[in-house]
């Protein structure tokens, strides 16, 4: 046992013992993740998306549409002079989407025609999709209203139309939304995803040290001491796991107590989820490292696994928006289960629900670590290329 501990402790010292190592492996990732947390987490509730618009209509219809959009409180409206200017600003990523109200929009509505609004988007985001739906709903109601005014058959249609819209802006029939904060915050998934991604890449670097040992023939020298292969393997795993735990702790402490991001999850549970994920990614890294003999290539191949699994596992966007078959494939990634565990915990689920993701993570870790230690074969010094 003490031998395992010695090897593990040596691993920790080598990775983060020096000032440079401490900076590179602990503080830098901590600061990066904390930065991401504060950017994405900060944008959560306060800032609203900017909508760039140009209103070529001079009737009440266009005005009403803009007033209603503004009234939702979800958008900030910024005017541009004409269609070209809107397009240019959208391409320049100055806002989430662009909106064009065509010329004579109101007149066409009252004429019984169906004028179309135009929405411009550079990339699909939730904001731009919602804007489209909202504008569509308001436009449809205006169409119905215009038909009603026409049906009433009075002479001063434009004035009456304007009066109805003005009355509608009062929102005499409305709703109040009671929000008990039951749903996990939208950014929590992304933040967890990003943290997972960084953790996974950090683990890679500590497993690379095992490879370095083998390449530098240090492993051979270790055998001249009375240690067994399994002790070396276990010691190395313990060491990199310890480093990982320190990394997780630093990231969480920075996020929770320095940047004051509210994780909505008990910290201990969050820590446990990340630690379980850490085990799995150690297994993945070890397996890959065992299969690839050249340590430099092992690092690259890890990247080959890291980014696709992160995408598939829902680190960058919610899994629910992906097509069915992709969601099934996502079940094979550890990220999906870790995020699910955090999700369950954030909505207040207990261990009766939490056991499943933890069990899956544990199983994955067991299989991969077994595979990893079988293929890592510390007693072989094999280096090729």
Partner 1 sequence: MNIWTIMTGELRRLLRSRTWMLNMILLPIVLIFLLGASLSGVVGGGSPETVNPVKVAIVNTAGQAQVQSAMLDAFLKSDEVQRFIIPVEVQNRGEAESGLRTGKYGYAVIVPQEFDRDIQSGVHAELEFILGKNHSDNTAAGAVFDNFLSEINYKQAAALTLGPEALAAVQPVLTEQPAVQLGNLNNGGKDYTASQFYAASMLLMFLLYSGLTVTGSLFSERENHTLFRINSMPVKGSQLFIGKMLGVGLLTGVQCAAIIFFTDVLFGVYWGNRPWLLMVFCLLMIIASMMLSILACMLCQTSEQATSAVNFLTVAMTFMSGGMLPLPDSWVNSVGAFTVNHWELQAMIKMMLHSGFEQLLPNLLVMSAICLVLISGVVFTYRKVGYQ
Cβ of residue 322: shortest distance to partner 1, in angstroms?
4
Residue 121 contacts partner 1 per CB under 8 A = yes
Dihedral angle at the C-alpha atoms of 272, 277, 279, 285, nearest 10 degrees?
A: -160
Q: What CA–CA distance (Å, rounded) separates 261 from 278?
A: 22
Q: Contact region for partner 1 (CB under 8 A) — 118-126, 220-228, 235-243, 373-381?
A: 118-126
CA 60 to mean position of chain CA atoms: 41
**Window 213-242: residues binding partner 1 (CB under 8 A):** none
Residue 10 contacts partner 1 per CB under 8 A = no
Helix, strand, or coil (residue 97): strand
Please name the residue ranges forming H helices in 216-294.
218-224, 229-253, 267-291
Cβ of residue 371: shortest distance to partner 1, in angstroms?
19
Residue 316 contacts partner 1 per CB under 8 A = yes
Contact residue for partner 1 among 7, 26, 37, 190 (CB under 8 A): 190
**Of 28 and 359, which CB lies nearer to partner 1 in the complex structure?**
28
Cβ of residue 347: shortest distance to partner 1, in angstroms?
5
In Å, how far are 47, 69, 103, 119 from 53, measured between CA atoms?
Answer: 18, 11, 13, 9
**Window 29-58: residues binding partner 1 (CB under 8 A):** 32, 36, 39-40, 43, 47, 49-50
Residue 172 contacts partner 1 per CB under 8 A = yes
Q: What CA–CA distance (Å, rounded) separates 192 from 4?
A: 32
Cβ of residue 171: shortest distance to partner 1, in angstroms?
6
Residue 12 contacts partner 1 per CB under 8 A = no
Are the CB atoms for 357 and 341 separated by under 8 Å? yes
**Of 24 and 249, which CB lies nearer to partner 1 in the complex structure?**
24
**Window 272-301: residues binding partner 1 (CB under 8 A):** 292, 294, 296-297, 299-301
Contact residue for partner 1 among 17, 71, 266, 308 (CB under 8 A): 308
Q: What CA–CA distance (Å, rounded) separates 81 from 164?
A: 28
Contact residue for partner 1 among 1, 19, 81, 152 (CB under 8 A): 152
**Of 287 and 369, which CB lies nearer to partner 1 in the complex structure?**
287
Q: Tell me the per-residue interface mask from 75 to 114 with partner 1, x by CB under 8 A, - otherwise.
A: ------------xx-xxxxxxx-x-x-------------x
Q: Tell me the per-residue interface mask from 122 to 141 with partner 1, x by CB under 8 A, - otherwise.
A: xxxx-x-xx-xx-xxxxxxx
Residue 320 contacts partner 1 per CB under 8 A = yes
Q: What CA–CA distance (Å, rounded) separates 298 from 288?
A: 6
**Of 99 and 365, which CB lies nearer to partner 1 in the complex structure?**
99
**Window 326-385: residues binding partner 1 (CB under 8 A):** 326, 347-348, 385
Cβ of residue 163: shortest distance to partner 1, in angstroms?
5
Give 179's Cβ-side CA count (13 Å radius): 6
Helix, strand, or coil (residue 183): coil
Q: What CA–CA distance (Å, rounded) separates 39 from 187?
A: 10
Are the CB atoms for 44 and 185 separated by under 8 Å? yes
Cβ of residue 319: shortest distance to partner 1, in angstroms?
9
Are the CB atoms for 200 and 187 separated by under 8 Å? no
Q: What is the DSSP string of 264-284?
A: SS-HHHHHHHHHHHHHHHHHH
């Amino acid at each position: 046992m003490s031998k395992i501990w010695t090897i593990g402790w040596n691993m920790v010292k080598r990775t983060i013992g020096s000032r440079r190592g401490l900076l590179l492996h602990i503080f830098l990732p901590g600061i990066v993740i904390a930065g991401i947390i504060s950017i994405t987490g900060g944008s959560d509730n306060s800032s609203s998306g900017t909508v760039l618009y140009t209103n070529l209509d001079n009737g009440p219809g266009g005005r009403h549409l803009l007033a209603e959009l503004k009234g939702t409180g979800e958008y900030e409206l910024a005017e541009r002079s004409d269609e070209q200017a809107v397009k240019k600003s959208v391409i320049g990523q100055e806002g989430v989407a662009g909106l064009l109200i065509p010329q004579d929009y109101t007149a066409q509505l009252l004429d019984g025609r169906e004028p179309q609004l135009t929405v411009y988007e550079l990339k699909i985001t939730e904001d731009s999709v919602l804007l489209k739906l909202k504008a569509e709903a308001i436009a449809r109601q205006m169409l119905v209203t215009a038909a009603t005014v026409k049906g009433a058959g009075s002479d001063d249609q434009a004035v009456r139309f304007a009066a109805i819209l003005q009355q509608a802006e009062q929102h005499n029939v409305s709703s109040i939304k009671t929000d008990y904060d039951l749903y996990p915050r939208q950014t929590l998934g992304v933040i967890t995803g990003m943290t997972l991604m960084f953790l996974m890449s950090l683990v890679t670097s500590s497993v690379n040290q095992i490879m370095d040992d083998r390449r530098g023939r240090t492993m051979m020298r270790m055998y001249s001491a009375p240690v067994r292969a399994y002790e070396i393997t276990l010691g190395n795993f313990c060491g990199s796991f310890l480093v990982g735990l320190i990394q997780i702790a630093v990231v969480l402490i920075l996020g929770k107590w320095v940047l004051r991001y509210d994780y909505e999850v008990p910290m201990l549970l969050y820590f446990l989820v990340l630690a379980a994920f850490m085990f799995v990614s150690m297994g993945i890294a070890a397996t890959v490292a065992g299969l690839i003999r050249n340590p430099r290539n092992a690092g690259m191949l890890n990247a080959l696994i890291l980014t696709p699994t992160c995408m598939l596992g829902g680190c960058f966007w919610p899994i629910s928006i992906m097509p069915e078959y992709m969601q099934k494939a996502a079940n094979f990634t550890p990220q999906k289960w870790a995020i699910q565990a955090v999700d369950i915990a954030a909505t207040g689920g207990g261990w009766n629900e939490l056991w499943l993701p933890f069990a899956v993570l544990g199983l994955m870790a067991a299989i991969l670590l077994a595979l990893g230690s079988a293929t890592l074969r510390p007693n072989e010094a094999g280096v090729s290329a």
